[in-house]
Structure 1
Amino acid sequence: MSDENYSPLSSNSAPQASSGSTVPGKRRRKSSKKSAVVIGSIIGVVVLIGAVLGGLFFTGVIGGNANDYSGSGHGEVNFKINEGEIGDQIANNLVEAGVTKSFDSFYQLLLETKPEPVFTPGVYRLKLEMSAKAALAALLDPANRVELSATIPEGTTEKNVLKILAEGLSIPLADLQAAAANPAQYGVPAEATTLEGFLFPATYTFSPGVSATEVIQRLVDESLAALDAAGVPQDQRWDVIRLASVIQRESGPNPDDMYKISRVFHNRLDQGMNLGSDVTTCYGAGLTGKDCLLITQAALDDKTNLYNTRILPGLPIGPISNPGAEAIDAAYHPTEGPWLFFVTVNLTTGETVFSETATEHEAAVEQYYAWLDAHPEAVG
């Protein structure tokens, strides 16, 4: 083998030397560009993934919503919707009460809900940290509405009406008594020195937190509405409510008797006779219910009792109970008839005998006493 074969300039050795010294450098420069592209792509993907994940977290798809709670909440809170409040006010109030997390979560839900939600004013039993969806559902469910109720029977006196209201509505009796002490503020006739007669008997519901004055006004408004429904002019309200209060206490379970009793009283007054009602005298003597059956002759003859319509002419000086709508209507619209007397002859059934003459009435009274003798338990 000659020395020519080993020369560094040979065709075999020169390319190898050249290749070994220059080509790798070019390859390193190409690898750097590719790495930059790859790294840039990775960063872009990471940013994109971060944006997607952020959106999912924000919207609550995963990990919860930064603007909303999840679930039905915990604990308990009373939330009030006031008359006239609209969606944005309710949304703000929910946040302030700790029910929902943000204004947007609830208000946006309202905008998206079809048909548009309608809210009923009142107090609702909600929870703390509820999702907007759970809070909206709870506010639209009548079962979550918190109500206090009180039932006033027809013919109840003012004293007992206030007691019933205090017990049913959890309002101190003293507050109700104080609220009722100034009748003029409620729009009753000027002659009224108390609210007796104007506390309409019915079943009432109120939201927690209602004031004594608001409760009293509601009852008075219902009474005035009943007078208007019966067509009673304002200048006759005082007379009608006084007579209606007597009719209510004198009548039994038969509504038709109210209109006949009213006719008896109208006929007696028209003929210049005294009203002659024992229940008015009992009221003035502080006797109510069955106690009135035990009234003495001395009490019936008591001239100092200003409610004694056996002795004093005309209507009693004030109402003796709180009448219902039928008694009010009967007082203003008596049925036609010639009767001047009536007496209930059966306290169990309420059977009442109406008479034109004193003789007929005396016979009916004997029938009443005979019934009492046969039913001593009726008077306790």
Structure 2
Amino acid sequence: MADDLDWNAIIASGNDAERPGKQPVDGRSDDRDDAPAAAGAPQPMSRREARARSAAQADAADTTAQVPQARSETPQGPNDAPPAVDDAPQARADAPQAHGEDALHPEVHALLSDGVAADGVAADGGAVVGGGGGAAGGGRGGRRGGGGRSSRPPREPRRRSRAGLIAGIVIVALVLAAGVGAYAFAAPKVRQIVGAISGSQESDDYTGSGTSKVTITIKQGDIGEDVAKTLQRSGVVKTSTAFYKLLLSSADVQFQPGSYALKKHMSSKAALAALQDKANRVTASIIIPEGTALKDIEAGMVSKAGLSEEQVSSAAKEVGAYGLPSGVTSLEGWLFPATYPINPGWTAKQYFQSMVDTMKQHLATAGVAEADQERVIVFASLVQREAGLAADYPKVARVFQNRLDQGMKLQSDATVAYGTGNTHRVTTTDAERNDASNPYNTYVHEGLPPGPISNPGDVAIQAVTHPADGNWLYFVTVNLETGETVFSDTYAQHQDAVKQFQAWLRANPSYQ
């Protein structure tokens, strides 16, 4: 331990004979007499001289041999005076030498006297200059300053240093962990800043006056944020944020409920100007053609009536709220194809209710009893998708009715396609026609499909309630341009009609 080391034993030269009365044992001295040295004997060195001496010895020694360092627990006494330079032991010429306090560099003096911490590390984190023996504030005092221990408790520098290292590691780990969590939040903003500086930031707004036409509707009670979302949803502006920011910076902007003819891909500035122009105000409507499927009607309500997909979808799922027969699970087939004026104050449910009520009125006009409404709609939706020319609707209805009467499968491609989710075609593949998991596959399952496959109009409803007279069991369109259709009583006749259709396709490859 440092308290058991004799300072002079550590810093003395290698000749022990020059130290009268001192017999070192394992680096310790049993003679702790504080009396002055005998006349003519070498004078004890001050700690500063000892440090210089020790540094010279360390430089001369092999790198594997190290001079033990002692720590002092007693500060240097105020009466410690350095001996004469001539009395100090001589060190190597290239070794640093201290010639007294006044000869020290001010910064070195400060480090040695006030700014030195344990283990040769300055209090401000720098290394101790000179590096000799015990630093001020540690180790046993020199002979001239009086011995004894300091009243301060001994320090534990290594333990504190190790604790500081652990604390530093913990702090770094916390910073890294926090950095990972914060990256997702900060990265977009950093990219915006970098993009703004480099000029590569993607704009959140279109430029120009737009491209294709589109009609949007501002509903009663819509605020600026609602209008911005409607414009983005309809493809007019690139982002609702850009348009809304423009609104906040524009004074005295008011929107009138109604429909407006705009264009897709307009800049926010151009879109705002168009909405303020009364010339763009139109009497818009939701137009539902015969045979339109529910999902297409929903899309039309979103684009025309200024409603959100969530509002429309939620209203469509409330099937029991529209007064339909029990057991009906979808609005499909119950929305009469017609033109419905846009009412800015209406909700999606009000639009659907109007369409359902219109269908019921037309069923009543066609003489369909309430108990038969569901079957008529399912049947009529099939005819609506399969028939081409209006004159052929009653014949197509007769073909399907004859098949039902004879226990034959309907074998309608339109029902199979609907079951696969495709509402825009009536052609199918062999695999689709053989798929028994499709409940709408009338090539596999007997009878009518489990529900409507489109929303039929008056012509289809009339055809089902008043089918044509005939024994037809088959039909095929043999000319896709004119819609000409051949009806057959037998399968052989039908095969001849199919060959006629195939010949037309070879002559018109663009239809294949």
TM range (shorter): 0.5 to 0.7
1:209 to 334, 342, 345: 345
Give the secondary structure class of the aligned counterpart of 2:436: coil
CA distance in 2, matches of 1:209, 1:79: 5
1:171 aligned to 2:307?
yes
Corresponding position of 1:237: 373
1:282 to 411, 414, 417: 417
Mapping of residues 79-158 of structure 1, within 5 Å: 147-158=283-294
Note the C-alpha offset of 1:225. Answer: 1.2
Corresponding position of 1:270: 405
Deviations 1:235-274 (A, max 9, x none): 111111001001000111x212111100111111011111
Give the secondary structure class of the aligned counterpart of 2:442: coil
Which sections of structure 1, spanning at least 5 residues, go unmatched?
1-76, 81-122, 126-142
CA distance in 2, matches of 1:181, 1:271: 37
Note the C-alpha offset of 1:205. Answer: 0.3
Corresponding position of 1:321: 454
CA contact (8 A) 1:154 1:248 kept: yes
Note the C-alpha offset of 1:357. Answer: 0.6
CA distance in 2, matches of 1:144, 1:186: 35
CA contact (8 A) 1:148 1:208 kept: no
1:357 aligned to 2:490?
yes
CA distance in 1, matches of 2:328, 2:494: 34
Note the C-alpha offset of 1:356. Answer: 0.6
CA contact (8 A) 1:150 1:165 kept: yes
Give the secondary structure class of the aligned counterpart of 2:398: helix
CA contact (8 A) 1:147 1:208 kept: no
Give the secondary structure class of the aligned counterpart of 1:306: coil
1:341 aligned to 2:474?
yes
Q: Which amino acid aligns with 1:226?
A: H
1:225 aligned to 2:358?
no
Note the C-alpha offset of 1:176. Answer: 1.0
Corresponding position of 1:305: 438
CA distance in 1, matches of 2:506, 2:296: 31
Question: Which is greater in Rg?
Answer: 2
Corresponding position of 1:192: 328
Identity of counterpart residues, as a percentage?
A: 46
Mapping of residues 33-44 of structure 1, within 5 Å: none
CA contact (8 A) 1:302 1:308 kept: yes
CA contact (8 A) 1:146 1:208 kept: no
CA distance in 1, matches of 2:498, 2:299: 35
Q: Which amino acid aligns with 1:248?
A: Q
TM-score between both structures, scaled by the size of structure 2: 0.45
Which sections of structure 2, spanning at least 5 residues, go unmatched?
1-217, 222-256, 260-278
Corresponding position of 2:235: none
Corresponding position of 1:87: none
Mapping of residues 66-85 of structure 1, within 5 Å: none
Quickly say closer, same or farther: Cα 1:226–1:362, change in 2 above 3 A. Answer: same
CA contact (8 A) 2:475 2:488 kept: yes
CA distance in 2, matches of 1:159, 1:79: 25
CA distance in 1, matches of 2:220, 2:496: 64
1:260 aligned to 2:395?
yes
Q: Which amino acid aligns with 2:459?
A: E
CA contact (8 A) 2:337 2:456 kept: yes
**More helix per residue:** 1
Note the C-alpha offset of 1:234. Answer: 0.8
Q: Over aligned residues, Cα RMSD in angstroms?
A: 2.5
* Runs of 4+ residues deviating >3 angstroms: 77-80, 143-148
Quickly say closer, same or farther: Cα 1:369–1:190, change in 2 above 3 A. Answer: farther
Note the C-alpha offset of 1:332. Answer: 1.5
CA contact (8 A) 2:478 2:500 kept: yes
Quickly say closer, same or farther: Cα 1:206–1:313, change in 2 above 3 A. Answer: same
Note the C-alpha offset of 1:367. Answer: 1.5
Deviations 1:274-293 (A, max 9, x none): 11111101111122334x43
Q: Which amino acid aligns with 1:313?
A: E
Give the secondary structure class of the aligned counterpart of 1:289: coil
Q: Which amino acid aligns with 1:267?
A: N
Question: With CA pairs under 8 Å and 6+ residues apart, which has the higher RCO, 1 or 2?
Answer: 1
CA contact (8 A) 2:219 2:306 kept: no
Note the C-alpha offset of 1:375. Answer: 2.3
Deviations 1:284-304 (A, max 9, x none): 1122334x43x2101111111
1:370 aligned to 2:469?
no
Q: Which amino acid aligns with 1:353?
A: V
